[in-house]
Structure 1
Amino acid sequence: MSGVAGARGAAARPILLNAVHMNCIGDIAHGLWTHPRDDSRAYRTSRYWAELARTLERGGFDTLFLADIIGANDVWEGRPDAALREGVQHPINDPLLLVPLMAHVTEHLGFGVTVNQSYEVPHLFARRMSTLDHLSEGRVAWNIVTGFLDSAARAAGQTQQLGHDARYDRADDFMELAYKLWEGSWEDDAVVHDRAARIHTRPDKVHRIRHEGPYYQADTIFLSEPSPQRTPVLFQAGASKRGMDFAARHAECIFVSGTKAQARETIADITARAVALGRRRADLRFFVGTIVVVGATEAEARERFAEYRHHASPEAGLAHFSAQTGIDFSRFDLDAPIVNPDTQALKSFLESVTTRSGGQVWTPRRLLDQMVLGSRHTPIVGSAEQVADELESWVREADVDGFNLIRTVVPECFTDIVDLLVPELRARGVYKTAYTPGTLRHKLFGTDRLPDRHAAASFRFSPASA
């Protein structure tokens, strides 16, 4: 990546940064919307998102990653009351509609949007993503999720969601059809826009897509002409074995969690699976989620952390974790061991806190003790120098490429990073001093389109395939 300078020079591994947000007042670090300086109630306004996008671009962030859910967090006590009271991802608005607004006020910032493919019509979803890619001039990424909430299935008229592994089977079928639409229907030179000849699109350059899969069927030509990236940059976060297989085949930017040793093991595992499919480590970027509280001095950061902790809600965090795992923790004795029941929610989250997890005994009380800022993420607290040291150690010891920085009190959590941490990273030569021109994929990987090694390449049009 260009624009990296400093004593370690071009050989330094540039740190990538994504800001994590949702189109709501409370997403991961719960309760902090109650802080008097928090502005997240303005999430309903265009001003809020435009200012955030400008701040992130000023700090050289790679993307604003917008998480999403399409059902209520209603596992705790068997109803959504706690989520409604505490603002646990509810109310929540559509993340895709924010992209054109923010793209209009920025030039380089990427936008990663979460869309649950389980409830999408493939050709209409593919058109929406192509539209956003056109409007942003190639700065869109899709975070592929298969869902974990039964409430989302009920909202869509189903009695319950598919089983965990079956959801990934369906997602594989969805991806194959989406690749055919994005990569195989229109040739690059299909649009000629010849006014004199009255030919806008050459029909012989637009090809019918026929798909007969186990979950999806289609017989159509794609509705949109090729966008700058064709297929958006592909994000994914599955950490179960089935999820890692899916990531190895499809994902470009992959979210991992755990300790440095656990993250390194996960990265090595997914990389090995990807290489077995003909891909390379260079085709992948791995991100770990973290909360950063940074100050001009360590004392200032510690003071701010104590202030945030006063407003955080571990109880709301536990209600959220109930939805993620499918376990109603309100029914547990606080000191009772958490067992591993057969739920169809997030398998990797469940496995991380059962009695089979590393030989440690997890209880609801231990979870609450960990959620000091309303989330299971352990905060990095300190001066810019101390935080930069810790981020560099993650790159070095865990083999991560970057970080998903989770919001706390908005906007100061991001302005502090931009004004304090980013200059320190740049001074060390481990962070870009300028954006690389071009699409988001070009900024991350040096190319606008998916490489020939990717699964999507097999669905591109060729005269032989025709």
Structure 2
Amino acid sequence: MSQKQILLNAFSMNCVGHINHGLWTHPRDRSTDFNKLSHWTDLARLLEKGLFDGLFLADILGVYDVYQNGIELTAKEAIQLPVNDPLMLVSGMAGATRHLGFGVTANLTYEAPYPFARRLSTLDHLSDGRIGWNIVTGYLESTARAMGQERQIDHDRRYDRADEYLEVLYKLWEGSWEDDTVLADRQRRLYAQPGKVHKVRHHGEFFDVEGYHLSQPSPQRTPLLFQAGASNRGLAFAARHAECVFVSAQTREATRALVDRIRQAAVDAGRRADDIKVFMGINVIVAPTEAEARDKLAEYRRFASAEAGLAHFASTTGIDFSRYALDEPIRYEKTNAIESATKALTVARTDATVRQLLEQLALGGRYTTLVGNPQQVADELLGWINEAGLDGFNLTRTVEPESYADFIELVVPELQNRGAYKTAYADGTLREKLFGAGRARLPARHVGASYRQATATGATPAFSLQEN
């Protein structure tokens, strides 16, 4: 049996400190250049040289203020603060590359669907179909307060609202304009055929929308859909909507169990198990020899901040760890943050302490870290792929851009020699690059496809549109 080829995203954020906190102080790190467009276009070119499938940009709308009940450490260590809009980077990076995909995070709880649909369609046009959207519903109380709300919407209700939000977007992206609407006929002065542009009429529990989608059909229509929720409600949402799912786990066995749950949920939702690509967040520290890699890890740890990582994790769980003594067991607290993270820390185990967390956070973050020479790293990556059932990885930054450059120089050739990594990009949109030629748009079995206009085959759309 041939070796499965690894999919690979660079995992970053439009800020100084993303996952591995404190490393912005390393003398070779360039994260503080994040305000310069050249920083991002240079990174995009580097990643395309390494044949990365995409640059995935995380985002938050709010601040980490749970730890010590404030932002003192958040500001000092630039723990995702300041943070700029990820969508604004895409057109510049797309213009500097031909194949690299871009996954952007946007919080639908605080975005009106009508203008948001246009923004993503615009980016899909400008990137020639290389845009993906990471769907998040938020988890920070600071965001709710900044947006004029007393508190967040409850966890499961956020997903109820998100389901309807996606319904509105599918109607706009898939149903408002027919494929052959645009003629751009100069002689007849006919750009778009009015009878083929349809008004969306949506009146639901959360949204009332009447209007035409403002963008003509883009290469993918609906951008490639990413999602990362691991709670029961989040998995149900992913099974219905997601095409790529991000997971984070500490063991291959636990990851395999989660991957199997995701794929079975997709099947239960009327899709195929392979309609979802599963990526795991991972750190890689590689050097020509194992000894050099270990030395590099030790060097990085001298600049990393475990406490900054703890402050980040405090907002992830909604638990202020500063209230605990070092060896005091951390108790479960009902919060409105990331439910799966809170339960994994306090319900799945009952002996977790702050001291243990600080040890896990020695590199400033909690992702699995692979350290070694190219052969050792390749062995580990393939072990995760084959044993955990993954499709690929979100490679986090440690020292940027050094960590990506090292991976491209040392690990990519090793994976290529083993037939586990592509040697050239496929043509087509981001969806086609991940799922194969002819898959520029959502497959017919995806719920979003049911909102398309009637075709010559006599199919009827699953909702009512009023013609212009």
Could you tell me which residue of structure 1 aligns to residue 302 of structure 2? Answer: 310
**1:120 aligned to 2:118?**
no
User: Aligned partners of 1:384 and 1:248: how far apart in 2?
Assistant: 35
CA offset digits 1:289-331 (Å, max 9, x no partner): 1100000111111111000011010000000011111111111
Could you tell me which residue of structure 2 aligns to residue 462 of structure 1? Answer: 454
Counterpart selection for 1:339 from 328, 331, 340: 331
8 Å contact from structure 2 (residues 282, 396) kept in 1? yes
8 Å contact from structure 2 (residues 279, 394) kept in 1? yes
Could you tell me which residue of structure 2 aligns to residue 205 of structure 1? Answer: 196
Could you tell me which residue of structure 1 aligns to residue 166 of structure 2? Answer: 175
User: Aligned partners of 2:78 and 2:211: how far apart in 1?
Assistant: 42
Could you tell me which residue of structure 1 aligns to residue 380 of structure 2? Answer: 390
8 Å contact from structure 1 (residues 133, 140) kept in 2? yes
Q: How does 1:42-81 map to 2 (within 5 A)?
A: 42-81=33-72
Q: How does 1:436-451 map to 2 (within 5 A)?
A: 436-446=426-436, 447-451=439-443
User: Aligned partners of 1:314 and 1:352: how far apart in 2?
Assistant: 20
Could you tell me which residue of structure 1 aligns to residue 85 of structure 2? Answer: 94
CA offset digits 1:400-447 (Å, max 9, x no partner): 000010100011100001111101000110000000001000000121
CA offset digits 1:27-60 (Å, max 9, x no partner): 1000000001111111110111011000000001
Q: What amino acid is aligned across from residue 154 of structure 1 in structure 2?
A: R
TM-score, normalization by structure 1 = 0.96
8 Å contact from structure 2 (residues 177, 197) kept in 1? yes
User: Aligned partners of 1:454 and 1:152: how far apart in 2?
Assistant: 31
Q: How does 1:76-155 map to 2 (within 5 A)?
A: 76-155=67-146
Counterpart selection for 2:406 from 416, 438, 460: 416
User: Aligned partners of 1:59 and 1:293: how far apart in 2?
Assistant: 16
User: Aligned partners of 1:260 and 1:428: how far apart in 2?
Assistant: 21
Could you tell me which residue of structure 2 aligns to residue 405 of structure 1? Answer: 395
Per-residue deviation, 1:378: 2.7
**1:18 aligned to 2:6?**
no
TM-score, normalization by structure 2 = 0.96
SS at match of 1:18: strand
8 Å contact from structure 2 (residues 281, 368) kept in 1? no
Q: What amino acid is aligned across from residue 309 of structure 1 in structure 2?
A: R
- Between 411-420 and 333-342, the greater mean CA deviation after superposition: 333-342
SS at match of 2:9: strand
Could you tell me which residue of structure 2 aligns to residue 4 of structure 1? Answer: none
SS at match of 2:62: coil
User: Aligned partners of 1:257 and 1:17: how far apart in 2?
Assistant: 15
User: Aligned partners of 2:350 and 2:67: how far apart in 1?
Assistant: 24
User: Aligned partners of 1:80 and 1:170: how far apart in 2?
Assistant: 30
Could you tell me which residue of structure 2 aligns to residue 237 of structure 1? Answer: 228
Per-residue deviation, 1:360: 5.0
8 Å contact from structure 1 (residues 370, 378) kept in 2? no
8 Å contact from structure 2 (residues 330, 350) kept in 1? no
Q: Percent identity?
A: 56
Gaps of at least 5 residues in structure 1 are 1-7
Could you tell me which residue of structure 2 aligns to residue 352 of structure 1? Answer: 344
Counterpart selection for 2:292 from 290, 297, 300: 300
Gaps of at least 5 residues in structure 2 are none
Kindly report the root-mean-square deviation, in angstroms, between the aligned alpha carbons of the 2 structures.
Answer: 1.0
SS at match of 1:379: strand
8 Å contact from structure 2 (residues 224, 431) kept in 1? yes
Could you tell me which residue of structure 1 aligns to residue 264 of structure 2? Answer: 272
Could you tell me which residue of structure 2 aligns to residue 35 of structure 1? Answer: 26
CA offset digits 1:249-286 (Å, max 9, x no partner): 00001011211111111111111111011101221100
Per-residue deviation, 1:334: 1.5
